[in-house]
Amino acid sequence: MEEISAVPLIGVVADSGLHGGQHSQNVKDKYLHALALAGAAPVILPQGLIAAPEQLERALSVLDGIFLTGSASNIEPHHYLSAEQGEDLSPEAHPDAGRDQLAFALIDHALERSMPLLTVCRGTQELVVRTGGKLFRRLWEQPGLIEHREDTSADLATQYAPAHGFSIAAGHHLSELMGDTTEWRVNSLHGQGIATLGDRLDVEGRAEDGLIEAVSVAGHPFALGVQWHPEWNSRDDALSCRLFDAFIAQAQRFHARTHSNGEAV
């Protein structure tokens, strides 16, 4: 059997956009660094894989976990809202349809194969939507909620500094990671957020205003999503550090279980 300390391969979803006037796909360094510092080898997954099922399946066959990052883009609303119910299906200001499609396929794979899955910000919203939930498209218009967007005029250190309290729900992954600690402070850089959950998700914790800030998939070994950005200085914050370490440990176990006899999932 493979050593449980083997370096796991983590698939990371790519964003699309323009770079120097040319179409490109990328992942911000902060996400790749957080994974590497926790002991993983990140592998960027381009959106074109969604149009090449055999290539996507081959890529997934060697991976030990999936990581869905945050992004400046938003999920297209037709994935979770209904025109028949009179809901607003106007296009998002920053859509990324290819990311929607690839992320949903990666979520399906991770849930079907019990592959470890960690999601951040937009990635968590993708997990919520794919499992039957809905989003608030404009959090700042929701009564009773605090401001969850960052001050874009501030420097990055200020934008990513802890911004509000977070209550950890008992009996789930985060409470296991943090032990007797039930309150923490997290950063906040999102204009959309979780409105409702589908039946497969459990609430892992809430912001001080009651907004759901962390979720997990019931019955899955490790499929966990957080709305804040734990990748920022991930080794300096206890919750962030334990979150990435737990994810990588689960990926190592997945590797040992599924590749010990030369088999691929």
pLDDT per residue over 83-104, tens digit each?
Answer: 888 888 898 888 999 999 999 9
Position 265 in a domain: no
User: Tokens 């990581």 appear where?
Assistant: 67
What is the total count of domains within the chain?
1
Position 2 in a domain: no
CA dist., res. 244 & res. 236, Å (int) = 12
pLDDT per residue over 204-233, tens digit each?
Answer: 999 999 999 999 999 999 999 999 999 999
Going by C-beta distance under 8 Å and a sequence separation of 6 or more, which residues neighbour residue 44?
A: 12, 14, 25, 27
Position 152 in a domain: yes
Global pTM reads 0.95
| Residues annotated catalytic, as ranges | 121, 229, 231
pLDDT per residue over 40-65, tens digit each?
Answer: 999 999 999 999 999 999 999 999 99
Distances (CA, A) of 239 to 42, 64, 175, 233, 250: 21, 22, 10, 11, 16
Using alpha carbons, select from 77, 95, 94 the residue that is nearest to residue 86: 77
Position 3 in a domain: no
Position 1 in a domain: no
CA dist., res. 87 & res. 82, Å (int) = 6
Polymer length of the chain: 265
For residue 42, the domain's CATH number is 3.40.50.880
Residue range of the domain that includes 139:
9-259
Residue type at 123 in one-letter notation: G
Determine contact, residues 169/175, Cβ cutoff 8 Å. Answer: yes
Decide: helix, strand or coil at residue 240: helix
Position 151 in a domain: yes
CA dist., res. 182 & res. 75, Å (int) = 31
User: Tokens 């699309």 appear where?
Assistant: 16
Residue 265 has pLDDT above 50, yes or no: no
